Chains A and B, each alone.
Chain A
Amino acid sequence: MAAFEALVLAYEWPVYNIALRMLGSVQDAEDAVQEVFIKVYGSLASFRGDSKFSVWLYRIAGNVCVDFLRKRRIATVSLSSCDDAGGEYELEVCDESMSPEKVLDEHEQSAALQKALNKLPERYRSVLLLREIAGSSYEDIALTLGLDIGTVKSRIFRARKKLCKILTDDGNFCEFLPSDKSEGGEQA
């Protein structure tokens, strides 16, 4: 267990931060990072060393995050109500307690960034976070996500372009620019 703890110490920070930005919730990120390492420990025997350990680990982390997002999508609250004819029907609404903005808004800039990341499609968010937080190379991201390098390159480009646009549309982009550039107004 001591050797495994050394691996946890090496990777817990990027895995936590990727989960935090993928899921937008501190609680979900804490749960996800625990689940990632439970899965990693349970599957260590199946790691054959064909790929880098980090590639294998981030693939597990990505799958766990996708599972969390999927569970969240189906986390709805059913409300019984009556229609005009007196018949009962079910109304499904999103469970607001799962909303990322509710949890991760302690810092304005961080909240703006998270809000924008939440609007990015998952396929763009995952490649961008692997690049920006884990510092993975395009080749490693391609191996992690089962894509070719060209797709990784174009997804990262599109992710950045969309993120700039979302931040600009939300009126938050100036916060992220150096002060001498932000006076210029609209960006990207």
Chain B
Amino acid sequence: MSECDKIQALISAMLDGELGEDERRQVTGHIAHCDECAQLYESFAAVSRAIGEETRDMPAGLHDKIMTAVDVADKQRRLRRLNHNVRHFVGAAACLAVAVGAILAVRGHMMMGSSKSADAAPRAANYSAESTGTCDDAAQFSVEGIYSPAEVPAEGDEKSVLDQAAPEATDEPDAPVPEPDEAPLGSENELVTLNASDLKAKEIGYGSAQEERKISADLGAAESDYRIYLVEDDGSAVMCEIYLMDDEVWVLPDGGEPYLAELSAGEFIELIG
């Protein structure tokens, strides 16, 4: 390696302030009498300067876009985590209910066998049913704040919790029947109706159409907090899923794109009484 090769390898590091005093003195001494290396130094300094000078200011509005994108992504992430946790919790509660029911049924059977009493079987059956009811309470507790009480199904049926918003009519005499004042706002027979002007979209400009589709898919996959009818000015009505996140209200119209409503979650709850 020639003297020039050695110096040229150091020139770049010298421009970046990465040389020690001895090496720096060696380079400056060399380029003082070597045109080729001096020219290389000038060239490197020129490209370095050019890259530094050709930087751009942040485009107007990009900072807000970043913050909105982070906020939206954070909400999506929390929604997914919430949904995941609810599924696990409800699944565990359902398993527990089944297990307890099974144990009690077996115990009842054993009692019936040992006492040979004629009324032992119905008593055991009743006990079992009561216990299942207790587990329903546990399941109900597990989804508190996400599902309305009547949305929590009887018999710890996970599918009915996760895949339907309103409870199905049941012929089971022992199934818990929701009190009228507990009827969920999402109950299909009694949906709250709001005017479109009550749920105006807030202008947030939260990104590309692709991102909106992603949000739509995520919201659509999660259980909503409420289900309402939204009546447009022309009298047409559309069913909407309502998601309350922090103090925000996300509206997902049936077959439409989701939007963030102008009103807060508190105002929404006040509005629906």
Contacts and interface: CB of A to CB of B under 8 A. Distances in A.
Interface of A: 1, 4-5, 8-9, 12-13, 16-17, 20-21, 26, 30-31, 33-35, 37-38, 41-42, 107, 109-110, 113, 128-129, 131-133, 137-138, 153-154, 156-157, 160-161, 163-164, 167, 173, 176-178, 181, 187-188
A12 B12 contact: no
Contacts, number: 113
A128 B51 contact: yes
A13 B66 CA distance: 12
B188 interface: no
Top 7 closest A-B pairs, CB basis?
Answer: A157-B12, A188-B43, A132-B51, A34-B69, A38-B73, A176-B46, A17-B55
A109 B70 contact: no
Given A37-B70, A160-B47, A8 B18 contact: no
B235 to A, nearest CB: 40
B37 to A, nearest CB: 11
17 contacts: A1-B67, A5-B67, A17-B56, A34-B69, A37-B66, A37-B69, A37-B70, A38-B69, A41-B74, A138-B18, A157-B8, A157-B11, A160-B44, A164-B43, A167-B47, A187-B46, A188-B43
Nearest to A188: B43
A41 B58 CA distance: 20
Contacts of B63: 8-9, 12
A131 B65 CA distance: 27
B118 interface: no
B40 A188 contact: yes
A42 B46 contact: no
A133 B16 contact: no
B73 A187 contact: no
B109 interface: no
Contact of A16 (B8, B12, B62): B62
Interface in B1-33: 8-9, 11-13, 16, 18
B59 interface: yes
A30 B48 contact: no
Given A157-B9, A157-B13, A164 B44 contact: yes
A42 B74 contact: yes
A33 B43 CA distance: 31
A17 B51 CA distance: 10
Contacts of A156: 12-13, 16
Contacts of B59: 26, 30
Interface of B: 8-9, 11-13, 16, 18, 39-40, 42-44, 46-52, 54-59, 62-63, 65-67, 69-71, 73-74, 77, 207-208
Q: Which among A33, A35, A137 has the greatest number of chain B C-beta atoms within 10 A?
A: A33
Contacts of B55: 13, 17, 133
A116 to B, nearest CB: 8
A8 B69 CA distance: 12
A109 B54 contact: yes
Q: Which among B48, B62, B70, B208 has the greatest number of chain A C-beta atoms within 10 A?
A: B70
A16 to B, nearest CB: 6
Given A113-B51, A132-B51, A137-B18, 12 more contacts: A13-B58, A26-B59, A34-B65, A34-B207, A37-B66, A156-B12, A160-B44, A164-B43, A164-B44, A176-B47, A176-B50, A188-B43
A30 B47 contact: no
B18 A16 contact: no
Contacts of A35: 69
Given A133-B55, A167-B47, A1 B71 contact: yes
A154 B9 contact: yes
B66 A33 contact: yes
A144 to B, nearest CB: 15
B77 A42 contact: yes
B48 A187 contact: no
Contacts of A160: 12, 43-44, 47-48
B73 A113 contact: no
Contacts of A153: 12-13, 18
Given A16-B58, A16-B62, A133 B52 contact: yes
Contacts of B51: 21, 113, 128-129, 132-133
